[in-house]
């Protein structure tokens, strides 16, 4: 006996309704949070928060305190050179030492700040120094020349050693809040140079002067201005990215406008140091996988493309799953004639006939509901209205009996 089509029950799904979509959204958000955590491990991302703000108001902190440096130190580089604007023969005063060849590495013999008379002379000359000017003024050149001579007469190793012995570590705000105490004192810094320019004048002893700009890890967008009495081997001119150790004498705070400054912007300012630098020959660190992903443009692009591809694949899979469920529902609601619901087992012909008989269809041998022979005046077994055959078949059949 042919049977109707069997319908297998739908498999149980792990997620019902919109649970899967919510789970995918949660996983995507967790992935974005991980990327942000990796990216924010870079200290430069927090420079706007961790870098020092402008100097606070105080006895020695007068000046453009609310000037805001750019987040990128390269953007804070000056549009023009502020030191020195007056053309002089640096180190022309004072007793000349032996005349070495220009750009010689050997220092010149002569007194330095360790000589009490030299320090006393500088104490008088520094009274003319004025902070937050855009250029080194002519009346400030005597103090400027004396610091240049002190730097020329000492090698870098001597300057670096003395700075560590005589001065505590300093930060950017120390030059603002305690600038009068630091004038003429040796300081040392670990700098990241971004620009080196040759100055037009040389010292009387033949040393070429250079102007350099850089920042420390602590200062962030606040730059330092250096007057170098010579360049170490390997350090070139122009825009650079060099890690150096600097040791020099603090002169003053000088104001300048960055290359990206707009009209009306407050000027920035930088401590002016006169001395020497030494390159740090450190091997380039090998970035880890997470650091490469966060710092490399290629890594960031791959991460974005990977997340987009993952989201597209999950979305396509979810769409196909929803479309399949809709199609199965549509096929289940529109069944061909004679088909049985999925929830009912197939029915045989005998069962169907029995069900039809039980539903009120007459079967052979059944007595009419109105009596054994039916009520008179009824058509057939007493069903139907009275009509044309009121005395017809029913009456005749009764007589025959």
DSSP per position, 93-111: SS-----PPTT-SSPPPS-
What confidence score (pLDDT) does residue 314 get?
75
The pTM score is 0.53
Q: Which two tokens stand for residue 295?
A: 């710092």
Determine contact, residues 374/394, Cβ cutoff 8 Å. yes
pLDDT given at position 167 = 87
Average pLDDT value over all residues in the chain: 72
Q: What per-residue confidence (pLDDT) applies to 220?
A: 82
Query: CB atoms < 10 A from the CB of 256, how many?
Result: 23
Residue 272: burial class (beta carbons within 10 Å; 0-12, 13-18, 19+): buried
Q: How far is CA 79 from the centre of its chain?
A: 28
Are residues 253 and 267 in contact, defined by beta-carbon separation less than 8 angstroms?
no
Residues in the chain, total = 401
Q: Tokens 């390269």 identify what position?
A: 74
CB environment 218-255: b (16+ within 10 A), e (fewer) = bbbbbbbbbbbbbbeeebeeeebebebbbbbbbbbbbb
Q: How far is residue 232's CA from residue 157's CA, in Å, rounded to a whole number?
A: 12
Q: Which 3 state secondary structure label does DSSP give 24? A: helix
**CA–CA separation, 130 vs 125, rounded Å?**
11
CA gap 378, 398 in Å, rounded: 12
Q: How far apart are CA 224 and CA 191, in angstroms?
A: 9
Residues paired with 189 in a beta bridge: 246
Phi-psi region of 238 (alpha: psi -120 to 50; beta: other; left: phi over 0): left
Angle (CA) 12-13-16 rounded to 5° is 120
Among candidate residues 233, 344, 310, the one with its CA nearest the CA of residue 279? 233
Low-confidence spans in the chain with pLDDT less than 50: 48, 50-66, 85-104, 370-374, 388, 392-401
Decide if 277 contacts 228 (C-beta within 8 A).
yes
Task: Find, among 94, 170, 85, 173, the residue nearest to 133 by Cα.
Answer: 85
Measured CA to CA in angstroms, residue 108 lies from 65, 102, 143, 151 at distances of: 40, 12, 19, 9
Residue where the block lists tokens 């902070």: 131
Max Cα separation, the chain?
165
Place of tokens 């170098």: 228
State residue 271's pLDDT score: 95
Determine the pLDDT at residue 193. Answer: 93
Q: What's residue 274's pLDDT? A: 96
């Amino acid at each position: 006996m042919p049977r109707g089509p069997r319908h297998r029950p739908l498999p149980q799904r792990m997620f019902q309704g919109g649970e899967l979509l919510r789970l995918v959204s949660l996983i995507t958000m967790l992935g974005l949070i991980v990327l942000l955590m990796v990216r924010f491990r870079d200290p430069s991302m927090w420079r706007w928060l961790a870098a020092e703000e402008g100097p606070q108001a105080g006895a020695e902190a007068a000046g453009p305190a609310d000037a805001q440096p750019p987040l990128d130190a390269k953007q804070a580089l000056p549009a023009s050179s502020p030191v020195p604007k007056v053309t002089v023969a640096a180190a022309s005063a004072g007793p000349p030492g032996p005349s070495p060849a220009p750009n010689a590495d050997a220092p010149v013999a002569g007194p330095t700040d360790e000589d009490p008379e030299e320090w006393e002379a500088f104490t008088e000359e520094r009274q003319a120094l004025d902070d937050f000017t855009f250029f080194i003024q002519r009346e400030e050149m005597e103090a400027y020349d004396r610091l240049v001579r002190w730097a020329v007469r000492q090698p870098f190793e001597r300057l670096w050693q003395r700075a560590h012995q005589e001065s505590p570590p300093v930060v950017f705000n120390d030059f603002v809040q305690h600038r009068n105490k630091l004038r003429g004192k040796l300081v040392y810094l670990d700098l990241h140079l971004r620009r080196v320019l040759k100055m037009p004048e040389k010292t009387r002893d033949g040393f070429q002067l250079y102007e350099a700009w850089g920042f420390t890890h602590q200062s962030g967008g606040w730059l330092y201005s250096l007057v170098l009495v010579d360049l170490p081997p390997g350090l070139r001119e122009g825009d650079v990215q060099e890690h150096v150790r600097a040791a020099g004498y603090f002169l003053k705070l000088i104001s300048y406008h960055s290359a990206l400054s707009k009209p009306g912007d407050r000027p920035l300012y930088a401590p002016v140091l006169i001395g020497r630098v030494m390159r740090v020959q450190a091997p380039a660190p090998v970035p880890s996988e997470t650091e490469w992903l966060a710092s490399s443009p290629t890594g960031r692009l791959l991460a974005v493309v990977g997340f987009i591809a993952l989201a597209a694949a999950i979305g396509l899979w979810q769409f196909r799953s929803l479309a399949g469920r809709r199609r199965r529902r549509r096929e289940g609601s529109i069944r061909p004639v004679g088909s049985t619901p999925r929830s009912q087992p197939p029915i045989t012909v005998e069962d169907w006939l029995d069900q039809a008989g039980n539903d009120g269809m007459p079967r052979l041998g059944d007595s009419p509901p109105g009596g054994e022979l039916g009520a008179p005046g009824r058509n057939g077994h007493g069903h139907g209205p009275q009509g044309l055959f009121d005395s017809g078949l029913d009456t005749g059949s009764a007589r025959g009996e």
